[in-house]
Structure 1
C-alpha cells in the first residue's frame, strides 16, 4: 500500500465551489473527475485517511473494465497490479460447480480508490481526506430556485487534532457518494432509507500470504444457511475475503470469523484461520433510498441503494453511476438544477436500478439452501443457464458511449 496522502487542511479551501462530492469511492471519484472535466470547480471530501481498505469483493468485471476504457482510464487496473480471473468456484454443503466468467481483475480497494482519486485530481478536482461532511438544510423553501446554492459543513477528524476544525463551504450541486446509510444526508428530511427485513451484514478482511487457499484465476464463493463468503487473490500474494452474514447468527456467535469459518468448512473450502483475523464490518446491506435527487443534491453509488453484488457488479454500478452523475452535475451547475435532477433520476433507473434485478433475485435465492443446491446442480448440468445470467450481469456498459462522447 502506498504512503498516506499529504493532507490539505480545510482552512485552506475556498468558500465557493461549483460541485462538492462527498465520498471518494469509485462512484465519487468518477463523478468528481467527470465534473472537473466538464469545467466545474470540484471538491472531493472523504472521512477516511487515504489509502484505505474497504469491505468489498475487490472484483472489477468486464463491464467495469469496458467503462474504464471508455473514459480513458483503461490503464488503471493494470497499474494497480490487478490479478486476472475467469472462473467462479461455487460451493455449498450439497454440491459445487465451476463456471466460466468473462476475464476480470481483482484489485485491492485501497489501491483502486487511491488511483481513481489521482485521476480526479489530475483533471483539476481538489481532494480532502480525514474530513466528515454534512449537507445543511436549505434556508429556502422547496420550490425556491432563486438562491440555487447548498451549504456543506466540513469537520476535520484526523487524530492529531485535539479540537476538530470545522467550516462551511457553498456550492451549486452536491453529489452524495458516501456509502451505505449516506451519513452526509442525515439532517435532510427529503432523504431516507428503507432497509430490507432480510438484509445481511457485510464483513471483510485481507489475508496476508493467503493466496494458496484459492485456485489461481478463480473467484471462490461458499454458500451456507448463515450467509455466503467470496474470496479472490489480490496483489502481493494476498487473499481478499468479503462475506454477507445473517444478522441473528452473527449476534449469537459474536465473531464474524467464526461464522465465516463454518460456512467455508461446510462448503468444502479450506479455512484460512478466519476466526483469528480482524474483520471490518458494515451496516445492514440491502436498502433503498426514497429519492436520488432533490434540491441540488444528487445521490449515487451505495448511498443511493444497495443490492448484494457478486462478481464485480458493485464496482461496475458505481463507475457507471459516477460518470453519469458527473455529467448531470455539470448540467445542474451551468443550466438548471431541476432539469439535472430529473435527468439523474432517469439515468439512475436505466444505468443501475434496472441492472440490479438479477442480483436481487440471486440474493433471495442464496437465502434458501435447497434452492441453492438445485441451482448448483442445474448450473453444472446445464451450464448455458448459468452463462445467460452471468452474461446479463457482466455485459459492457455500452449505454455510456453517448454520455462520454
Structure 2
C-alpha cells in the first residue's frame, strides 16, 4: 500500500490551477466546484478516503441546501441516513423539546465517500494518504515561484521521497489547527476556555439505547460540557460531546465523561454493554475546539471550514459552515487563477466574514451560556415555560444560517 502511494506521488503532475488540501466536506465541495468551473484541480487527503469519523453526523437545513445546489439531494438520501426534525434538550434541571427545520443524520464515512466520488466525477484528481505542507510566501523577487504559483510539498505518510508541486490557488480545508499551514503567515489563537471534542459510534445502538428517539437530535447540557446523540443509518447511534479538559481527566476516559454528562443532564447513562472498549464503537478525541485565525486569505491561499476558525456548534452548524464555505470560495479561486490576487484575497476575506463568521453569532452566544450553569439553568427554565420565545430564537437562528 505504501508503495502504491509513493508511485502515485512520483507520477503526479507538478502544476495545478487549484490544489485543495483536506478531503472532508469543505475540501471535497471546494474541489467539486473548482473542477466544475473548469479548473485543473487536485484534492489531497491525509487519511485513507472514507475513513471512519465520529464528528459531523448532523446535516442541518442549510447544509442540505448546499448539497441540493450541487445536484446531490437524491444521492445523499440514498445513503440511508435518517431525517431529523426534532430537538430534545435536557440539563440544568430543565427540559426542552422543539421542532426544528428538517435535517439529515448520516455517518461521515458515507458522506465523505460520496463527496470525494462526486469531485472525481466532476474532473478533479484525488490522492490520499499524503501529507501536504504549504510553502512560506516568497520573501523576495528572487524567491518568487514560477508562473505565478505557490509551492506545496507532498509526502506519503512515512515521508518517503518528498515531491513539490505548484498551484495558482490553494484551498486549505485540513481541519482544526490547519497543519498544512505551519511556518507560514497564518497564525491561530486558541481560546483559554476551549472545550475538547470526544465522540464515538455505538453499532446497533438503538437496541441498547431504546430511549434514543428517531428523527431527533438529543442534547445533554451539564457543568462539564455538553453531549449530543442522534440515530444514523442501520440503527447506529452517533455520540459527540464538547467537554472541559479538566472534567475529562477527572472522569478518566471519554466514555465515562460522556456517560457522566448524560446522567447529570437527566438522560439515562450509557449502558454497561457500551462502556468497554471493543468492536462496538471507537472513541476519538479532538484538540481544543474554540479557535480563531489571523487571516483567511493570503498569497494564493484561501482557508475554509474548521481550518478558518472553529465555534462550538449546536446542532450541526459546523458542517453547514464548512459546506457553504467550500462552495463559496470558488469565486475567489477563479479570480486568483486569472492573476488578480489582490481582488481574490479581499473578496474571500469579505465573503467569509459576511456569510460564515456573522452566521456563527448564535452559536457563540449559546456556547457562552452553556459554560455558565447559573445562567444556563435560568435560560432553560424560561425556554421551557415560554415556548414562544424559543420558537423566535429558532426562527432567528434559521434567518442567520440562511444569510
**Please, what TM-score do these two structures have when normalized by structure 1?**
0.91
Per the alignment, residue 64 of structure 1 pairs with 63
Structure-1 residue corresponding to 2:200: 205
* CA–CA separation in structure 2 for the residues paired with 1:251 and 1:141: 48
Distance (Å, rounded) in 1 between the aligned partners of 2:12 and 2:262: 49
Q: What SS class does the counterpart of residue 99 from structure 2 fall into?
A: strand
Offset at residue 63 of structure 1 (A): 1.1
Query: Paired residues, what number?
Result: 389
SS in 1 for 2:313: coil
Q: 1:304 and 1:313 mapped to 2: Cα distance?
A: 14
Secondary structure of the structure 1 residue equivalent to 2:286: strand
Give the one of 288, 293, 296 matched to 2:297: 293
Q: Which residue in the other structure is 2:381 paired with?
A: 377
Q: Cα distance, 1:38 vs. partner?
A: 1.1
- 1:102 and 2:98 correspond: no
- Distance in structure 2 (CA, Å) of the matches to 1:393 and 1:130: 38
The runs of at least 4 aligned residues of structure 1 exceeding 4 Å deviation read 142-147, 395-399
CA contact (8 A) 1:313 1:393 kept: no
The two structures, once aligned, show a CA RMSD in angstroms of 2.0
Partner SS for 1:259: helix
Q: Which residue of 2 aligns with 1:365?
A: 369
Q: For structure 1, which segment, 275-284 or 312-321, has the greater mean C-alpha deviation from structure 2 after superposition? A: 275-284
Structure 1 gaps, min length 5: 1-5, 400-405
Task: Give the superposition deviation at 1:85.
Answer: 1.2
Matches within 5 A, 1:115-126: 115-126=114-125
- Matches of 1:79 and 1:199, distance apart in 2: 36
Alpha carbons 1:140, 1:147 under 8 Å: kept: no
- TM-score scaled to structure 2, two decimals? 0.92
Q: Are the aligned partners of 1:223 and 1:263 in contact in 2 as well (CA < 8 Å)?
A: yes
> How do 1:98-177 and structure 2 match up within 5 A?
98-141=97-140, 147-157=147-157, 164-177=160-173
Q: CA shift at 1:264, angstroms?
A: 0.6
- Per the TM alignment, residue 251 of structure 1 is displaced from its structure 2 partner at its CA by 2.4
Write the deviation string for residues 317-363 of structure 1: whole angstroms up to 9, x where unpaired: 01110011122111110241221111000000111000000000000
CA contact (8 A) 2:138 2:144 kept: no
Give the deviation of 1:245 after TM superposition: 0.5
Counterpart among 177, 191, 197 of residue 196 in structure 1 = 191
Question: 1:37 matched to which residue of 2?
Answer: 36
User: What per-residue deviation string (whole Å, max 9, x for no partner) do you get for residues 102-129 of structure 1?
Assistant: 1111011111111111111111001111
Deviation of 1:57 (Å): 4.1
CA pair 312-21 structure 1, distance change in 2 beyond 3 A:
same
Correspondence for 1:50? 49
Is the partner of 2:234 in helix, strand or coil? coil
- Asked if structure 1 preserves the Cα contact closer than 8 Å seen for 2:176 and 2:289, the reply is yes
Farther-moved stretch of structure 1 (335-344 vs 20-29)? 335-344
SS in 1 for 2:73: coil
Separation in 2, partners of 1:309, 1:141:
41
How far residue 97 of structure 1 moved from its aligned partner, in angstroms, is 1.0
Is residue 321 of structure 1 aligned with residue 325 of structure 2?
Answer: yes
Paired residues of 2:84 and 2:103 also in contact (CA < 8 A): yes
Question: Are the aligned partners of 1:21 and 1:43 in contact in 2 as well (CA < 8 Å)?
Answer: yes
Look up the match of 1:184: 180
Shift of 1:139: 3.1
What is the distance in 2 between the residues matched to 1:384 and 1:112?
Answer: 35
Post-superposition Cα deviations, 1:286-334, rounded to whole Å, max 9, x if no partner, equal 0100000001100000000000011121111011100111221111102
